[in-house]
Every structure is written in C-alpha cells, then in structure tokens.
Structure 1
Amino acid sequence: MPDQSKAWLDDTTLRVMTYKSGSFTFQLGFDLQQVKPMLDRVNDAQNRFNKMPSLPQIIDQVQDKVLASSIYSTNTIEGGQFTEQETEEILRLDPKTIQKTEERRLTNLKEAIDWIKQFSQKRLQPVDGQSISLTSVIKLHSLVSQNLEEQHNPAGQFRNNQPSQKTVVGNNAHGGTYRPPKCIEDIEYLIQAWVEWLNSPHVINQPAIVRACLAHYYFELIHPFWDGNGRTGRLIEMLLLEQSGYRFTSSAIWAYYQINIHEYFALFNACRKAADKKEPLPNQAFIEFVLKGMFETINNLHDQSNSLISFLLYQTALNDAKFSKRISDRQFNLIQTIMFVTGQTKKFLTQAELYRVPQIQVLYTGKTERTFYRDIARLVELNFLDDQDGLIVVGD
C-alpha cells in the first residue's frame, strides 16, 4: 500500500497521494482575466443590492421568500417531492411537531441555514476570505442529517466503505459516473488537505465566489459522507459567500442550480474529466456557470425587493386615501378583496367577472350593480386600479 503524501506544486496547487484512491489535485484551474468582467458585474450588483433601503418589512419578506425558495431548490435537487408552497408551509410548523422524515429534511436545512447566518457580513468583501474548519463541515452535515432515522447515514460521520459497499456518483445522462474515495483513511486525509488548500494564503484571497464554488466542487469529488453531500456542499458554498457579504444570494443561487440541474450536474463530470486530461483550465466552465447564476440571482433579488417596496408604497398611499376620506371603507375593502382574489386565482378578471365573485357580492349587499362600477371607475381615476384591455389590475 503506497504512503499518503502531499506536495505543493505551486502557490495554489496541492497534489495529494492517497492509499487506495490514487492522486488528487486541488487547483484553481481558471483564468482570472477571462472571468473578471463577469466577476465585476456580479460584485457591482451585489454591492447595490446590499445598499438598498433596509426597511424591516422588506428585509423580512425577502428573507422569507429566499429561505423557502432555497430550501425547496436544494431539496428538489436531491430528489425531494414537495412543491415550493408546501415547503413554505412546512417551514412554518414547529419542528418539534414534525414526525415525517421528508418534512424533517426541510427543517434540518432551515436550522443549518440559521446556523450559517451568524457568520454573515453586511459589507461586501469580494477578495477577503475567511477560513473554514473541518468542525464547521461536520457541524453542517450533522444539522442536515440529524433525526432522520437513516441508519446508513450517521450524522457527521465520514464514509468507510467495506469491500461489498460501492459508492457511485452521477449518471450517464450527466456525463458519466464517478467513484469517489472509499476508505476512511483516504477520506479523512483528503478532507484535511481540502481545508488546508482552501485556507492557504494564495487561495483564501482569491475572489470569494471562485473560492466558494471550488470548495463546493472539490467537496463533492471527495464525497465524504454516506448521504447529504450535495446539500452539505451547497451549505459550505453558502457559508463562504455569507462570510464575504453575499447576503441572500449565497443560498438564493440554489434556485438557479435547480432550474439548470442538468448543466449543474454535467459540469462536475466535465471539469473532473478535463483535469484528468491535464487541460490547462479544467474548472473554468464551472466557475463561469456559477458567476452567471450569481448575476441572474442578484438581479432577481433586486426585482423582488423593488416589487415589495412598490407594494409597500402602494399600501401606504391606499391607507392615506382611506384616512383622508378620498376613498370609502367599501372602496378600500374592494381593493383588498381584488388583491386576494387575483392572488388566489393567479389571473386578472374583468369588471363583470369581479362583480360575480362571492366576497365582492357581500361588499355590495343592498347596493346596486351601478355602485360597484362607480367604485371601480373612482379607483381607476385615483390610480389604485388600472384597466388593462378590460382586465382590472391593482395599480402601482
């Protein structure tokens, strides 16, 4: 059996020789000048997002939306069957009342995300990375895997495959399969080398996004646990991004991974094969994929926040109009009912269709139909409602 050994080939490349899994090389594998334009765009967008008005109502709503979307996405990537709305409803439950393993996976993820949030930085630090520890990795896997009644996947414990146990990652649809290291001696040695590489002087000060996505990539290649490696790897990426000020984007990007799941999985295999062939920039494609995802994610967060701010201003104007008697209580309640109905049906209705809605019929008990149409006209005149080709839309 060959000895285990490590050798730094240069300031950013660490080659590791294992007992039974051959050699393993941690490297940057990308060209900074090629990705710098997109990197600058991402950092500029994140800076602008971090400086948006931090109204408590807006922050709370964005946080709730991102939490539900992120947990839905990372769980779906691993085969979860809950919809995003079901995920949101489960997350509102008291974790102590949850009995089903499938539901507990979601609350475990929330607990892991909450644990990461304590390390969050409000100011963007795009090239000032923080160290990561093996303790944090084990903590994250323990949180993800706790109380799941999965005897094959003890929380926080590394794999140690027996001769009859095979661990295979990937499938032919996403570029082929891969067998990660299997004996615990190699796994422990590799994960310690992974930590050493990530914390080394010339890697820790790489662009934070690059370091975070490479931490995720190499963690998945080591695949140290029996189960939960994907969820834990994305949480590690989130931790490193949160430490550098990529607020909300750090986990919101999981939705991008889920939407582009085939490319996401295929790139792990493509980059691994490129490294095996000694190609000069084996990790470039994965880094570009993540940067594109970060940019789209931040723009989506901007749009969500702007919509929430617009809605908050709309509600303030609506309340002022009611208080100053520019609109009646009935007209105020009509708008609230229209918002509720369109939110439930996910479509806009004509005036005639709205008038037939039972909740609106209640508002106009003892009133003529003409009163309803006059109220609609008044609210359109005040820009609280908008008539778009016959459909009644709540105004901005």
Structure 2
Amino acid sequence: MTLLISGFEGGEFSEEETGNILHTVPKDIQKSAEKRLFNLKDALLWVNKQRNPQFEPTQGKPFLLADVTHLHALVSQGLDEGHNPVGQFRDNEKWQKTYVGNAEHGGRYQPPKCLEDIEYLLQAWIEWLNSPTIINQHVIIRASLAHYYFELIHPFWDGNGRTGRLIEMLIYEQSGYRLSSSAIWQYYQKNIHEYFALFNHCRKQAKNKKDLPNTLFIDFAMDGMLQTINDLHDQSNQLIGFLLYQGSLNNARFNKAISERQFNAIMVMMGFSDTYTPAALLRNPQIKALYSNRTERTFYRDIESLIDAGFLFEQDGKLLLAI
C-alpha cells in the first residue's frame, strides 16, 4: 500500500518517505501534502472492505451516489486548501469560474457550475451506470467510463481526480479484481500526460459528434489493465523463482553440498542492488569479513564451486544470482 499511495499522489514523496509519514501519529501531521497521504490510506482501506471475493467481471454491482460523497469526504477531511467542503458538491457563484485541464494536455473547459446542474448530471450518471445495458458490460469498460464521465462533471471544488480514481477502483473491487484494481494507478502515473490528454481528446470528439468518441480512453484503460496484470504475473514468477532458489540453497547447505561460508556469501549478495566482478566482490566489507582467515584462492574456488552448482553465473565478467 505504501508504494501505491506514493505513486498515486504523483510521486511527491518517495516510497520511503511515504512509509515514514504513514507511521507518524496523525495528530503530529501538519502539512497538507502529508495529510493527503493519510486520507488516501483511509479511502483505500474503505474501498478494500467493499471487495467481492468472487471474480465477476460481467456482473456489476449497483453504484450509489452516497459512495461518491463518502470517498470525497475521506480524501478531503482535515485539509486546509481553501474552500472545499468535504462531501459537498460545487455551487459556483455567478462570478466564480471553474476550469479543468490545461493547454499542455489539449486545452481546458468549464464543467457545469451550478449545484442544480451538477446534481442532475450525477443522478443521470448513477442511473446510466446502473442501467441493464451498462451494469453487465465488462468491468474494464464500465469502470473506465464511470471514471471518465465523473471527471467531466467535476462535481467538487477539489479532489475530483483522487475521487474519480477511487470510484474506478471501487467498481473493480466490486467485481473481484483485487490487486490489479489498485496497481493500474501506477500505470496511469507512468503515463500521466497521455492520461490527461485523453480526457480532452475524447471530450472534443464527443463535442464534434464523432462516432464512439470515448474509445481511446477505454483502449488506454484496457492496455493499462493488460500491462498491470502482466506485471503482476511477472512479479509472481520472480517471487516463486526466489523461493525455489532459497529452498535449493537451504537444501545444499543442509546436505553440505556447499559450505556455511558459501551460503553466507550468497546471502550477502542477495542484499546487493548492483552486480560485481569477483575481484570487486572480494573487496566488499561483508564478503571480506567472511574470508578474513582464508586466502584469495579459497574465495575464488568457492565462487567457481557456486557457479558449478548453479547458484551463480557470470555475465560480462560480473557475478549474478541464478534465480
């Protein structure tokens, strides 16, 4: 969750900084940016509680307007960012203008401004989202369109982006998507310029009465989900490979196929983020300590033995774990 929150908030904090903030006592949080992290954590936990244990991508669950205001309240509570009453829709005065977008991402537009129009559009959005035609569409189509149209309405003074992505996540969770429902946000963050530009492109396509104006945004969401699922699959394979490697290493140690010293050398290497040549590895303080009472020849013999046993291999002169 720490990585997700860090990515979802636009990379303002690193993963480590995000973790430190989330472990701070809430009453000690002073900055709005830090408070937003806490709020997002609360919102994600609430969305997770709505999770469907069954995978049902074409059996949508009814969506409630109360969920929208609740999500906005969760992400906006306690923030001192000007006029943004939690869970309350905009009602612009005649002199107040709200704009969405910018020139960099295809232009900006004015969403509906008076409360009466916003409430009417949101109610129509909910009825459409729960209509027989839409509720049983594949969840990727339903969730991405729910997200898209919510952002066009832009019903709150602030926090619409966070609320819209949480709405999308909630719809995914209601269909049993679990990990991929939140991991797709990292895809959005990696492709943030395209994400914003597509809102404007599709809006202009609809304004010009083009056929299927929202197709590109749906395609974008589908590509993101496919990439997300593939990434999760790769991560799972890497984890399985690591566990199998660790099991083989433990068995070799238990059966004395490798020495305790060789086992410890591998364990030290597991903590490295870089690769080393054998000579550079021997200069590492931890490895050097393991061989403090041994000759260099012993070290190189141990390395050759670990390569022969399949626990290490050399590539471009550097040692890598054979995971």
TM-score, normalised by the number of residues in structure 1: 0.77
Find the partner of 1:302 among 208, 216, 233.
233
Find the partner of 2:88 among 157, 169, 172.
157
1:110 aligned residue: 41
Residue correspondence of structure 1 range 129-278 to structure 2 within 5 A = 129-278=60-209
1:72 and 2:6 matched: yes
The alpha-carbon deviation at position 155 of structure 1 amounts to 2.0
2-side partners of 1:372 and 1:88: how far apart?
39
Q: Deviations over 1:220-253 (max 9, x none)?
A: 0111111111111011001101111222111211
2-side partners of 1:185 and 1:382: how far apart?
73
Q: Deviations over 1:300-342 (max 9, x none)?
A: 11001110111111112212222222222221211111121x2
2-side partners of 1:379 and 1:152: how far apart?
64
> Aligned partner of 2:8: which letter?
T
Secondary structure of 1:152's partner? Answer: coil
> Aligned partner of 1:74: which letter?
F
CA pair 249-358 structure 1, distance change in 2 beyond 3 A: same
> Aligned partner of 2:287: which letter?
I
CA pair 88-384 structure 1, distance change in 2 beyond 3 A: farther
Alpha carbons 2:6, 2:12 under 8 Å: kept: no
Secondary structure of 1:159's partner? Answer: coil
TM-score, normalised by the number of residues in structure 2: 0.94
State the Cα RMSD in Å: 1.8
2-side partners of 1:253 and 1:127: how far apart?
19
CA pair 164-72 structure 1, distance change in 2 beyond 3 A: same
Aligned length: 323
State the structure with bigger RCO (CA 8 A, min sep 6), 1 or 2. 1
1-side partners of 2:232 and 2:133: how far apart?
32
Identity level (%)? 59
1-side partners of 2:183 and 2:193: how far apart?
18
Secondary structure of 1:349's partner? Answer: coil
1:350 and 2:281 matched: no
> Aligned partner of 2:186: which letter?
A
Residue correspondence of structure 1 range 51-66 to structure 2 within 5 A = none
Q: Deviations over 1:142-199 (max 9, x none)?
A: 1111222334222212122223322111011111101111122222222122111111
2:311 aligned residue: 384
Residue correspondence of structure 1 range 37-56 to structure 2 within 5 A = none
The alpha-carbon deviation at position 289 of structure 1 amounts to 1.2
Q: Deviations over 1:330-361 (max 9, x none)?
A: 21211111121x22xxx211000011111211
2-side partners of 1:93 and 1:301: how far apart?
30
The alpha-carbon deviation at position 93 of structure 1 amounts to 4.8
Secondary structure of 1:170's partner? Answer: strand
1:312 and 2:252 matched: no
> Aligned partner of 1:384: which letter?
F
